[in-house]
A = this chain, B = another copy of it.
Amino acid sequence: MNIILKVSGKFFDEENVNNLLILKESVKELINHGFRVGIVTGGGNVARRYIKMAREVGVGEAYLDLLGIWASRLNAYLVMFTLQDMAYMHVPQSLEEFIEAWSHGKVVVTGGFQPGQSTAAVAALVAEASSSKILINATNVDGVYERDPRIYADAKLLPRLTTSDLRKILEISQSVQAGTYELLDPLAIKIVERSKIKVIVMNYRRLNKIINIINGEEISSVIEPV
């Protein structure tokens, strides 16, 4: 049984050592429960700051995305070094490299792959290529809400929804910042749909309860591909 864990860039922005220790424990837990684990890390603040600097000196879009990708890879190195012997010691830079790394039977950690797509799309591609049936998206909110919870404090959490529900919600909740996708971008949704991958959105502060979350016994949102 294979599983992919996407860790939001916000996880690293907190510079919280406890976060890292819980992540390490949750990977051990998953392995003990018979899972093979792949991890995808977001870029977070370091990504945003480097992109901002570069944009101001006139660097083009493809290269701005690449700076974000390199920042996400820095986070991947941090996670990989934290996992040490559990991990295969190479951060793949494309899906083809991931597939080769995945052959080794250890945890593989990756950041971004390519301009024009989010690290959530990377996570979906990696889930598909590893025949994972579950993709866990660990972020700074408890799951998918009807509306962006950072803006609408009273937004309601959706424990279960479909990818087509999600499409509608993201259209509304993110309409203000056109083009900046959060949670899942269109490529990510297309991939999880075509390969029937269940997505669980959860709070990374609950990573210590990851088995419960997979079993549906803890707060989270489960997105069924349709």
Q: Hey, which bits of chain A sit against chain B, CB under 8 A?
A: 15, 17, 20-21, 24, 46, 49-50, 52-54, 56-57, 59-63, 66-67, 70-71, 73-74, 77-78, 81-82, 84, 87-90, 93-96, 99-100, 102-104, 106, 113-117, 121, 125, 128-129, 131, 179, 186-187, 190-191, 194-195
Contact = CB atoms under 8 A, between A and B. Distances in A.
Q: Quick one: which of A21, A66, A82, A89 has the most chain B CB within 10 A?
A: A89
Contacts of A78: 50, 53-54, 67
A67 B77 contact: yes
Contacts of A20: 53, 57
Q: Quick one: which of A24, A81, A102, A121 has the most chain B CB within 10 A?
A: A81
A63 B81 contact: yes
A82 B62 contact: no
Contacts of A54: 78, 81-82
A66 B96 contact: yes
A33 to B, nearest CB: 20
5 contacts: A53-B78, A54-B81, A63-B84, A74-B74, A115-B128
